[in-house]
Amino acid sequence: METKIEILQGNLLDSTADAIVLTIDGAAIGMEGNLARLFSRQCPDAWEDLEFEITYPIQLGNVKGFRIDEELDCNNKLIYIASTLHHIETLTDGQKINVIENAIHNIVNLSVRNRVKSIATAILSGGWRLSTTDALGSMIETYIRSSRSTSNPPVLYIYVLNQDEFEKIGLHLTNSGLHFRMPRVGVYKLY
């Protein structure tokens, strides 16, 4: 099976993937991450509809999918709300990785069930002091494991806004032994 992962240097909110991943602290309303807040400004009607549908609490690592009304001005058809942020307890690096793994696994399963062809997300580092490369590595490994059980997994687009961070990721990919190519500037494609 071909690995369907692309890492792109750019703004996640510009993505036209079928589904977009936005992170929140699932403990209560109003504790969304920075990208979710930006999304709420970019697509206020979609966010308002979505806010009424979310039931709290959402356990850490869980993901809920919400369809976007086609009449609303939004690039995506589906929003995944991933509970990967929290403000209460301190987690070990292993627990942080586990949250990321659970979220990616849930995202892949929801996508297969809903026949989603493409997913866009940022690196799920959770606002923690977990390194970008550790979070990315966990996302890639979990996506590959979770995709093995399906014949047609969705493409996973991972967006990195910062140019320097994107270049560090390229160096990390080179040193990690993962097979990738750069089909165009600003894109690493794993295979």
- The pTM (predicted TM-score) of the whole model is 0.94
Query: Which amino acid is located at 68 in the chain?
Result: I
Options 3.40.50.300, 3.40.50.620, 3.30.70.270, 3.40.220.10; CATH for 5-190 is 3.40.220.10
Q: Parallel, antiparallel, or unpaired: how do β-strands 155-160 and 180-184 relate?
A: unpaired
pLDDT band at residue 1 using 50, 70 and 90 as cut-offs: low
Q: Where do the structural domains in the chain lie, given as residue ranges?
A: 5-190
Q: Please state, in angstroms and as integers, the Cα–Cα distance from residue 98 to each residue in 38, 64, 104, 105, 138, following that order.
A: 26, 18, 10, 10, 9
- Under DSSP, the state recorded for 69 is P
Residue 156 has pLDDT above 80, yes or no: yes
Residue 177, pLDDT score: 86
pLDDT band at residue 48 using 50, 70 and 90 as cut-offs: very high
**Listed range (16-20, 41-45, 121-125, 177-181) with the worst mean pLDDT:** 177-181
The string of pLDDT tens digits covering residues 64-112 is: 999 999 899 899 999 999 999 877 668 888 999 999 999 999 999 999 9
